[in-house]
Structure 1
Amino acid sequence: MASRETTVSDGSNQPEAPPPPPAVEPSKYSKTTALKSILNRDDKGLGLVGRRVVVGGWVNSRKERAESDAPSQLPPPRAAAQDVSCYDVLMQRVPFLRPIARILVGVIGAQPEKPAASPAKDGPFTVYLRINDGSCSSNLQVVLDSSMSLPGQVITVGTSILAQGVLQKILAPKKHVVELMVEKILHVGVVDVKSYPLTKPRISLVSLRDHPHLRPRSIAVTQSNSLALFQIGSVTRICSNLIYTGHEFFHKKGFIHVHTPIITSMNAGNHGKMFQVTTLLSNSGGKDKSAAVHEHEGVDLEAFRAAIREKSKRIDELRRSDSNKEALSAAELDLQRSKELVLMLEKQQQSTAPSAGELDFSNDFFSRPVYLSASAGLHLESYACALSSVYTIGPVFQTDESKSAEKLAEMWMIEAELAFTELQDVMNCAEDLVQSLCYSLMETAGNDLKCVSKQIEKNCIKRLKSIVSGSFARITYSEALNILNQVKDKSFLSKVGWGNTLSEEQESYLADEFYKRPVIVYEYPKEVKPFYVRVSDNGRTVSAFDIIAPKVGVMVRGSQKEERMDVIVKRIQELGLPHEQYEWYIDLRKHGSVKHSGFSLDIEKMVMTATGLADVKDAVPFPRVRGHAKL
């Protein structure tokens, strides 16, 4: 009878070589495995130990150790290390004991250990990288041998790498429990170290605004010159979560998404000056004063200014060096002439540039004056009066002269319009949306919220919980004035009185100090709200509301719209608005009018609420404010 046992032909008792570790499935549209699928698991990746993966990311930190000092992370060879002592194990697993051991070894005359921080340049060493691919707030430690670095491809902070390796458990885990032992480097995107602006371990938020194209890579950032560090990526992922949740909320409620224009021919309310869109200033067809502008279109003033800056640097170098006085005098004379030329060209262009009042808009691209939209609300009304409940998510533009930390020229809004509704209905909808956004963040953005709560503001999660846990306070504008007039322990810079807009300071008092939760203020005076808000029966107030949130102020503005044609026409006349621009808007009241209401939610304010950021310019990827528009 044949034996069931399989014998090895050479008589050896050594087992066969184990099969290669199984690979982790990559992303569907990439060859890499997203770091969040490894590090955001409940076991922090321990269940994937021994699995082969391909990961990509950008290097946030790099450390080196001489190979003799690097603790081995791989399993020991099968010929077990019989001579490994307790001393050796301690030296590997407890690094802080090494300096003490060196002192003791030196005392008894033994050969001292090589310092771990300064490996010999001609000897092998182990490189420890921390990389991040943007999918989560956690970094993955990547371990590779120095021999893997390719010539001319030095891996430094900012470098992008694509690497294949095996996940293994860290012997002395702290925050992270797994790392990648690299088998092969598939790609290295090198960095110009001399010009890379993120090499410093801590960079202020103000400095980062000058590099918006690189800002999302930043990990160590100081806020308000404190030691609070955080990831721009966490803020971006939180914002993305809010956008997705907004779409999901309206979809579940039966709303229809509508794309509204960002170029409009009318002013949607009390927005003052608007950004005008025109091609006439750059393409005037050679008429009148505009013809003079064409004569100078070939002159690049910015190039002249750049040349002046270079000449100034050259003069500074000549002054510091031992150059002869003749060369310095010639350079200074050349600089003076260049400055005079630029000044002359600037004055000439300013004197010949046509003003908006002199432009013939019949020759413009749209054949009429048009502007960047300050609100999508009026356009949404036309679709609400046919589809009942609609919404949009997009940018709006306001020429706010304020330099407040909460003001942007380009903001992103969630705006909704509901047919067959009145003020209380739309207030309920807006409150539900805010609570839904906060609840979703707590449920799905836990790691990023923990990151910002530790590194920006410790109360941000508590604030989100308080918004979700109970209903918002609701008071009329008159009741808000009564509360503010009874404050005795502080004085407000702005006057508290009927007909005045509530100041940011007063709004902050109501939400942060008096109610300590979001508060809805409604029934405002007619004079402080736009023409389209429904006038109350008393003739003094209108059906408008604001949701004031702790820390950020007004987050939502909304109102019931005026559905009565005679009233809306009267309001347009009272405010001196051009009737012809609003004929289509009046048509909505003339043909099948219904009661309808809407609101807009400021997404950047919502991000500030969730993260604790103090300046709105850090809550948006590419901030546009007065005097600043990078990229």
Structure 2
Amino acid sequence: MLHSVKELLDKGPIGKEVAVNGWVRSFRSNRFIALNDGSTIGNIQCVVDFEQFNESLLKQINTGAALNVSGVLVESQGKGQSVEIQVKKLVVLGEADAESYPIQPKKHSLEFLREKAHLRVRTNTFAAVMRVRSALSFAVHQYFQKNGFYYFHAPIITGSDAEGAGEMFRVTTLDEKNPPLTDNGEVNYKEDFFGKETNLTVSGQLEAEAYAMGLGKVYTFGPTFRAENSNTSRHLAEFWMIEPEMAFYDLDANMDLAEDFIKAVIAYVLENCTEDLQFLEKRLLDEEKSKPLAERSEMALLDKLRFIVDNDFKRVTYTEAIAILRNSKPNKKGKFQYRIDEWGADLQSEHERFLVEKHFKCPVILFDYPAKIKAFYMRLNEDEKTVRAMDVLFPGIGEIVGGSQREERLDVLLEKMKALNIDEKELWWYLDLRKFGTAVHSGFGLGFERLVQFATGMGNIRDVIPFPRTPQNAEF
């Protein structure tokens, strides 16, 4: 019977004949094969009596080769594994050239492995990260499905810019060398495939709002795109977003949901990805030994995840946060790269992390931000200076969730759009939602890769998505 490596290591039938497929991680002394099939961080040791097999077959067993192995599962006499297979039959399914196979049993830099993104999942680190990513994906769907949400597929091609950022990828079928022009000499998008200028979406929020106003509670979970020329460890051009939208939810209910959701999905991986998280924690501890003490994390990975699950999130207004930051030692001594002098400043990651890691020492939800630094669709407060926005801040990462109560009043929304020169005709359907049965509603967005980064402890966001898309890089 064919088993996975995980099944054999967990509760394999000792003394029985088993079969397993996998890739060779190492082959020592022409006798010990470490085989892995991706089902777990551990390898199954396969012990070969080389006298039973001809030499030409053994020469094909190199690191990276795919094998089918059959034999008796026995308790291991050696250190490092509880069980092993005494091999009776061995078939090489696919050879790997020993000289050119790049993933050898030694430490490789993350930069090198990004150049081999098609093969890096065969390393322990990336296999562990991708199993955690898969578990988190499942946990996201499980949470929303259990809590009465409907999965909504937002369009990937859109004519609107939900964020107002303008950094979007254009979608067109026009001849790039000779596009049709208007009388004014501009590109005539009326002759394009969709009859108008279209882009890849930066967010499914606006469309999700429409469906929340009919289904009550919906969520999106899909790819989004931003043409921001940022070559940093925190940015991707293609990334996945989780965006729930809820009718009849005010800001307080929105904050309650965000906190409960994050705790639930992190608790899920703590329970279901123990071995992978332990491996990633050890990797992180080894990596940090080379860093100065001041730059090392105050908490190990598993402690950091339990810290999120076990602690209530502190809720603080933007105004309170500004007062704390303005009077903080790093601000007074010029340690912040961006000094906080006055109310209305747009907080940077360094400020957010100070609030979480140094001041409150727990996850923080900031709310009631200045209207000037937030999007047009956020509900204006009675003071007419702030909006019902909220951001969830985490240790080591800063903002992980951004959301708000949406502006449900047609007259106020029209005023805000006019002040920002947003064309009413472009969003006529969005305005209709405020004309026909408008109601209080809210939602938030969570960048999935940021969540995976937090859960795995990986320092670069390019290492938590299978094939990263970044400026000047669309390989694979």
1:281-320 matches, within 5 Å, as 281-282=175-176
1:588-627 matches, within 5 Å, as 588-627=433-472
User: What is the alpha-carbon distance in structure 2 between the residues aligned to residue 186 and residue 502 of structure 1?
Assistant: 59
1:145 Cα offset (Å): 3.3
Contact 2:62 2:97 in 1 (8 A): no
Q: Does 1:269 align with 2:239?
A: no
1:179 Cα offset (Å): 0.7
- From 70, 90, 110, the equivalent of 1:164 is 70
- From 446, 467, 487, the equivalent of 2:328 is 487
In the other structure, the counterpart of 1:514 is 359
Q: Does 1:136 align with 2:40?
A: yes
- From 530, 534, 537, the equivalent of 2:379 is 534
Which of structures 1 and 2 has the bigger CA Rg? 1
1:414-493 matches, within 5 Å, as 414-457=242-285, 459-489=300-330, 490=333, 491-493=335-337
Contact 1:61 1:130 in 2 (8 A): yes
- From 14, 29, 32, the equivalent of 1:49 is 14
Contact 2:366 2:392 in 1 (8 A): yes
1:439 Cα offset (Å): 0.8
1:618 Cα offset (Å): 0.8
Cα deviations across residues 481-508 of structure 1 (Å, max 9, x unaligned)? Answer: 1111111245211131322210111111
User: What is the alpha-carbon distance in structure 1 between the residues aligned to residue 134 and residue 55 of structure 2?
Assistant: 36
CA RMSD of aligned residues (A): 2.0
Contact 1:270 1:529 in 2 (8 A): no
1:186 Cα offset (Å): 3.4
1:524 Cα offset (Å): 0.4
- From 392, 395, 398, the equivalent of 1:547 is 392
Distance 1:421 1:566, change over 3 A: same
Q: Secondary structure at the match of 1:136?
A: coil
Cα deviations across residues 83-115 of structure 1 (Å, max 9, x unaligned)? Answer: xxxxxxxxxxxxxxxxxxxxxxxxxxxxxxxxx
- From 320, 326, 349, the equivalent of 1:504 is 349
Identity among equivalent positions (%) equals: 37
In the other structure, the counterpart of 2:129 is 235
In the other structure, the counterpart of 2:294 is none
Contact 1:518 1:548 in 2 (8 A): yes
Contact 1:216 1:233 in 2 (8 A): yes
- From 235, 241, 254, the equivalent of 2:148 is 254
Distance 1:358 1:40, change over 3 A: farther
Letter in 2 for 1:132: N
Letter in 2 for 1:462: D
Count of matched residue positions in the alignment of Structure 1 and Structure 2: 456
Q: Secondary structure at the match of 2:222?
A: strand
1:358 Cα offset (Å): 3.7
User: TM-score, normalised to structure 1's length?
Assistant: 0.70
**More moved, 267-276 vs 564-573:** 267-276
1:614 Cα offset (Å): 0.9
Contact 1:153 1:188 in 2 (8 A): no
1:343-422 matches, within 5 Å, as 358-422=186-250
User: What is the alpha-carbon distance in structure 2 between the residues aligned to residue 280 and residue 365 of structure 1?
Assistant: 8
1:538 Cα offset (Å): 0.7
Contact 1:148 1:185 in 2 (8 A): no
Distance 1:149 1:188, change over 3 A: farther
1:281 Cα offset (Å): 3.9
In the other structure, the counterpart of 1:214 is 119
Q: Secondary structure at the match of 1:573?
A: helix
User: What is the alpha-carbon distance in structure 2 between the residues aligned to residue 358 and residue 141 of structure 1?
Assistant: 66
1:199 Cα offset (Å): 2.5
Contact 2:311 2:363 in 1 (8 A): no
Contact 1:155 1:188 in 2 (8 A): no
For structure 2, list consecutive stretches of 5 or more residues without a partner in the other structure.
Answer: 286-298
Contact 2:179 2:188 in 1 (8 A): no
Contact 1:153 1:190 in 2 (8 A): no
User: What is the alpha-carbon distance in structure 1 between the residues aligned to residue 187 and residue 86 of structure 2?
Assistant: 67
Q: Secondary structure at the match of 1:184?
A: strand
Distance 1:362 1:272, change over 3 A: closer
1:150 Cα offset (Å): 5.0
Cα deviations across residues 132-177 of structure 1 (Å, max 9, x unaligned)? Answer: 11111111111223325655961111111111111111113x3311
User: TM-score, normalised to structure 2's length?
Assistant: 0.92
In the other structure, the counterpart of 2:432 is 587
Q: Secondary structure at the match of 1:580?
A: coil
Distance 1:185 1:569, change over 3 A: same
Q: After the TM superposition, which parts of structure 1 deviate over 4 Å for at least 4 consecutive aligned residues? A: 148-153, 286-289
Cα deviations across residues 408-437 of structure 1 (Å, max 9, x unaligned)? Answer: 111111110000110000110010010001
User: What is the alpha-carbon distance in structure 1 between the residues aligned to residue 105 and residue 129 of structure 2?
Assistant: 21
For structure 1, list consecutive stretches of 5 or more residues without a partner in the other structure.
Answer: 1-25, 27-31, 65-125, 220-230, 290-353
User: What is the alpha-carbon distance in structure 2 between the residues aligned to residue 262 and residue 588 of structure 1?
Assistant: 21
User: What is the alpha-carbon distance in structure 2 between the residues aligned to residue 187 and residue 505 of structure 1?
Assistant: 53
